[in-house]
Amino acid sequence: MSNVTTHKKVRATGRGVLLLIFSLGFLFPFIWMLLVSLRNRVDILDPGNIFAPLTLINYETLFAAGDIFPYFINSAIIAVVNTVFSLVVGTFAAYGFARYNWKKREDRAFFILSQRFLPAMAVVIPFFLMATFVHLLDTVWLLAICYTLFNVPFTVWMMRGFIEDIPFELEEAAFVDGCNRMQTLRQVVFPLVLPGMVATAIFCIINSWNEFVFANFLSVVHAKTVPTSVMMYLSVSGVKWGEMTATGVLAAIPVLVFAVSVQKHMIRGMTFGAVKG
């Protein structure tokens, strides 16, 4: 009996070590970026100087210049606006696909989902031309619209599954009690799919915060976002690795804090409806 227990402990320990190594492999680029951001320019360009003293000079340079703060504001505005619109439009569309049956419904659903198949580079030039025509180029509203167009199909795909997991008998009971369709949605459906809406909103916010292609090609000065701010440190004289990595660390911190703070809601939303009676 003791040999069996010992064998299980050894296997569990070995599995834990492998998972730790696997996790460190994913974390290594971020750790390396953090270490580079805490070194001065001379030590960064000297790979052999591994044990160079750490410094906050790169972060002090960023905060002294103050150029990066508008990028954070733009990213926050775009993420919130497009997430709200994506949830509103996508949830109502998902309800239609989940509860109504019409001709070629699945074909329409696949067409909506297929919009996510398009790479950003395939549509950024048409968006650029249309934005120039309507004078929306280099505005946060243009980026919010572009992100919404890509997040709505994702929202429909996510929310349709959550809504279909809700027994339709609950809605029929609400109809019998005198509720109309909107009252049923507000009082029955939306409260039940709230975990799914939270999980979908989390993914929409993270996708919007990290998006680079649209933000880089459709903004010039006023609508630049955090991911595009790293381009400021590329010049003919070289790359300012210290400031660039410091910006990368600052850009990752809000997403990491947000992901950790809503981790329980994300897990609850992703497992919503997984267990049925």
Same domain, 87 and 211: yes
Structure tokens at 57: 């000079």
Residue 245 lies in a domain: yes
> Is the pLDDT confidence value at 254 over 90?
no
Closest CA to 40 of 233, 241, 238: 241
| Residue 93 near residue 156 (C-beta atoms within 8 A) | yes
Range of 181's domain?
65-270
Same domain, 71 and 7: no
Closest CA to 210 of 120, 91, 110: 120
With bands split at pLDDT 50, 70 and 90, how would you rate the model's confidence at 265? low
For residues 215-251, b (16+ Cβ closer than 10 Å) or e, as one string? bebbbeeebbbbbbbbebbeeeeeebbbbbbbbbbbb
Residue 171 lies in a domain: yes
Same domain, 137 and 70: yes
Which CATH number does the domain housing residue 183 bear? 1.10.3720.10
Same domain, 89 and 168: yes
d(CA 148, CA 160): 17
Other CB atoms within 10 A of residue 272 CB = 20
Angle in degrees, CA 91, 131, 203, rounded to 5:
30
What's the total number of domains in the chain? 2
Other CB atoms within 10 A of residue 263 CB = 11
Q: What is the mean pLDDT of residues 207-215?
A: 88
Distance of CA 42 to the CA centre of its chain: 35
Q: What is the mean pLDDT of residues 161-165?
A: 86
| Residue 231 near residue 214 (C-beta atoms within 8 A) | no
Residue 41 lies in a domain: no
Same domain, 20 and 99: no
Q: What is the mean pLDDT of residues 152-163?
A: 89
Residue 202 lies in a domain: yes
Distance of CA 189 to the CA centre of its chain: 25
Residue 57 lies in a domain: no
Which pTM does this prediction carry? Answer: 0.80
Same domain, 13 and 112: no
Same domain, 3 and 140: no
Same domain, 95 and 21: no
User: DSSP secondary-structure letter at 71?
Assistant: H
Same domain, 104 and 4: no
> Is the pLDDT confidence value at 275 over 50?
no
255 or 143, which is more confident: 143
Same domain, 23 and 138: no
Structure tokens at 198: 């939270």
Closest CA to 144 of 73, 89, 83: 83
Same domain, 147 and 264: yes
Residue 42 lies in a domain: no
User: 100-122 pLDDT, tens per residue?
Assistant: 888 888 888 888 888 878 788 88
Residue 33 lies in a domain: no
> Is the pLDDT confidence value at 62 over 50?
yes
d(CA 275, CA 277): 7
| φ and ψ at residue 99, rounded to 5 degrees | -110, -20
d(CA 232, CA 212): 14
Closest CA to 211 of 79, 118, 87: 79
Residue 32 lies in a domain: no
Q: How far is CA 201 from CA 86, 110, 170, 273, in A?
A: 8, 21, 25, 18
Q: What is the mean pLDDT of residues 220-233?
A: 85
**Per-residue model confidence (pLDDT) at position 80:** 92
Query: CB under 8 Å to 194, separation ≥6 — which residues?
Result: none
Same domain, 16 and 153: no
d(CA 196, CA 273): 9
